[in-house]
Amino acid sequence: MSKQNAVLDAIHFRRTVNQNSFTQEDISREDILTILEAANAAPTHKRTQPWRFVIFRKEGLERLGTELSRIYKTVTPAEKYTEATAQNMAKKATQSNVAIALIVNYTGDLPEWEELAATSCAVENLWLAAHSLHIGGYWATPGLINHLGGFLNLAENQKCIGIFYLGHHNAESREPARSPIEDKIRWEE
Ligand SMILES: Cc1cc2nc3c(=O)[nH]c(=O)nc-3n(C[C@H](O)[C@H](O)[C@H](O)COP(=O)(O)O)c2cc1C
């Protein structure tokens, strides 16, 4: 890295952190709001601000976990179903301190990909803000999220694009595993 500052450090040292590294420490409501305010600062064409979030804490995490296992049971063919996976689905929620359902609100004013892109920008902001508060997390996109509409009370024009699981953690910070940027750019000068 040639230059360093707080923004560049956060971008480079933000990592996927999962439940294995989460501690029991509570994430305060204030910190959750700080993280979501950062998401809300994302760029958005025509200011449609298409990101929506449902925040699960405490008992809400139990309800989310139960619903994820139930959906897994419902949609998985009997020969592929395992009790261990069903329990694991629930644990992703219950072993997190907070889970945030990531939702795109399609307005019809823009191509859908633009609303999805803006919401993805919001998720990266959320992730970086959490990192800056020493909170880790990851964006989970199991197929089950396509069946969460009823549970999340989504409108017809809304789609869940993942669940973001969060927790204070004890993971070591590490450099990103990426192939060189030189392989992905072309200069036109
Ligand atoms: C759109 C999207 C979907 C993702 N879905 C999952 C997922 O379902 N499960 C998971 O463990 N990680 C998921 N991730 C996180 C990636 O696995 C992770 O970012 C990648 O391994 C790079 O690691 P890093 O975040 O530490 O740089 C997702 C990331 C993105 C951007």
As for ligand 1, residues whose beta carbon falls within 6 Å of it are: 15-16, 138-142, 176
The domain over range 16-55+97-171 is classified in CATH as 3.40.109.10: yes
pTM for this entry: 0.96
Residue range 56-115, pLDDT digits in tens: 999 999 999 999 999 999 999 999 999 999 999 999 999 999 999 999 999 999 999 999
Is the pLDDT at 1 greater than 80, yes or no?
A: no
Is the pLDDT at 184 greater than 90, yes or no?
A: yes
Residue range 110-151, pLDDT digits in tens: 999 999 999 999 999 999 999 999 999 999 999 999 999 999
pLDDT band of residue 28 (cuts 50, 70, 90) is: very high
Could you tell me the distance, in angstroms and rounded to a whole number, from the CA of residue 34 to the centre of ligand 1?
22
CB 11 within 8 A of CB 124: no
Tell me the C-alpha distance between 106 and 113, whole Å: 9
The reported pLDDT for the residue numbered 10 is 95
Residue nearest to atom 20 of ligand 1 (CA): 16
- In this prediction, residues 45-54 reach a mean pLDDT of 98
Coil, helix or strand at residue 119: helix
Tell me the C-alpha distance between 166 and 118, whole Å: 21
Could you tell me the distance, in angstroms and rounded to a whole number, from the CA of residue 15 to the centre of ligand 1?
9
Residue nearest to atom 29 of ligand 1 (CA): 139
Could you tell me the distance, in angstroms and rounded to a whole number, from the CA of residue 189 to the centre of ligand 1?
34
What average pLDDT does the structure give for the chain? 96
